[in-house]
Copies of this chain bind each other. A is one copy, B any other.
Amino acid sequence: MSKKLTSRAEDYSKWYNELVVKADLAENSAVRGCMVIKPYGYAIWEKMQAELDRMFKETGHQNAYFPLFVPKSLFEAEEKNAEGFAKECAVVTHYRLESDPDNPGKLRVDPNAKLEEELVVRPTSEAIIWNTFKGWVQSYRDLPLLINQWANVVRWEMRTRLFLRTAEFLWQEGHTAHETKAEALAEAKLMNNVYATFAENFMAIPVVQGVKSESERFAGADETYCIEALMQDGKALQAGTSHFLGQNFAKAFDVKFTSKEGKQDYVWATSWGVSTRLMGALIMTHSDDKGLVLPPNLAPNQVVIVPIYKTDEELEKITIVVDGIIKDLRAKQITVKFDNRTTYRPGAKFAQHELQGVPLRIAIGARDLENGTVELARRDTLTKEVIALDSITDKVEGLMTEIQEALFNKALNYRNAHITEVETFDMFKSVLEEKGGFISAHWDGTAETEEKIKEITKATIRCLPLDGAFEDGVCVYYGKPSKRRVLFAKAY
């Protein structure tokens, strides 16, 4: 906390990295590409988990837990999925260490403890889960099977960044099996919609719902739904995906069911996930050059109270008043922390809470006690206001809603101002270069054109928006006929 944060204008990427560390959210570990999620960051993730878990259960899903390891022979069963993840798999080959005869006090892998079959550390769990589902599904009475898992996964990424791309990350992965294609498609869309609702109502992040182009699909999926958000530097961030897997895994793992009519058929599948990457989206959507800005719905402490005092006697008097405030706020389900640490001065406390994005700060001093007032400071607008002590509960309750909405609207305005329709490839390039954001353009639907545009501009198709109206046009690159616009952007 000693040094000022780099500003976003100066170096956005550096600003992000510094902020994550200085706000005590996460840090790099001794393991290449793996992070430590610090208590403050983890507390935000826990709030996300709690709400998502509630939404999953409300839509009929149950949690379960499947092994961390996937035997290689299962991993390779669904060919596209295996091919898609093979290049980033951590592989366990041995099950024992022994004393290293050449280095006293050191250990080495015991060459006699080689596994007969290598174990892949799950990069995603379709293979191990579908191998299990085979035993769980016999008849239509076992369907739909609606399972979710909270777990860690490992993808050996070469370039990593805290929260956004780490070798190990935490996530939830839903895996469902259905009688019909229509049901599975409806499930995939439903869960994408759950993600969108969560992003907008809790994270205060507006998202575009859409489907991925074929080349951006999850390996093994027939269709990938997604939610796409826009960061303050004009780059897009894929915040969640929900896949319609067709019968690909059912066939690879031979998962069949007997229908009401007594016929045998393969089941239809979905999988869907969000991860600690959401933390990156949350940070980059709202925060500013002073530090983190958190929406009240996800802030570990929605309110912090800082006493301003010179003597122990003053602190005692303030504490009596604060105890009353806390009681009233907690009765309204508002989480509040009384920062009465004696080891730090008010200025240092203000700086810390600003850096850590506490939505609302209340300061109370001796003069406030005399006047029957308190000072409120909003983190999002950085504005202060002195109010009557006896109006505080209603005022704070109102502000929680107001701040939550203000953050969403600010992000929405920014996002809407950064969706640009372009008709020519020159304009595509200049908008991308000068303004960033989503570019809404006609595309001829071929992977070749998509690849060409990516090669030249580094922009990818983020999605074919679900609410996108169909209209006749010509592809922005080759000029071939097109029936709809898609969203391009540079992306995290």
Contacts and interface: CB of A to CB of B under 8 A. Distances in A.
Contacts of A151: 152
Contacts of A131: 30
7 contacts: A39-B64, A42-B63, A72-B107, A86-B99, A87-B96, A89-B95, A90-B95
Contact of A37 (B64, B69, B99): B64
Contacts of A65: 36-37, 42, 45, 170
Given A29-B128, A86-B96, 4 more contacts: A31-B69, A39-B63, A42-B63, A89-B96
A208 interface: no
Q: Which 8 residue pairs of A and B lie closest in terms of their CB atoms, listed nearest first?
A: A39-B62, A34-B67, A37-B65, A86-B97, A95-B156, A91-B94, A31-B67, A93-B93
Contact of A119 (B31, B71, B147, B170): B31
Contacts of A45: 65
A105 B79 contact: yes
A66 interface: yes
A43 B63 contact: yes
Contacts of A90: 69, 92, 94-95, 119
A42 B109 CA distance: 34
Contact of A97 (B35, B36, B72, B170): B72
Interface in A85-136: 86-99, 105-107, 109, 118-121, 128, 131-132, 135
A14 interface: no
Contact of A68 (B43, B89, B152): B152
A93 B94 contact: yes
Contacts of A91: 92-97, 109
A7 to B, nearest CB: 26
Contacts of A106: 76
Given A65-B42, A89-B95, A75 B168 contact: no
Interface size range of chain A in the complex = 35 or more
Contacts of A118: 109
A177 to B, nearest CB: 13
Contact of A46 (B35, B43, B63): B63
A71 B93 CA distance: 15
A395 interface: no
Contact of A107 (B27, B86, B105, B343): B86
Contacts of A70: 31
A368 B439 CA distance: 66
Contact of A27 (B42, B94, B135, B343): B135
A141 interface: yes
A397 to B, nearest CB: 24
Nearest to A148: B39
Interface in A43-82: 43, 45-46, 62-72, 74-76, 79, 82
Contacts of A64: 36-39, 42
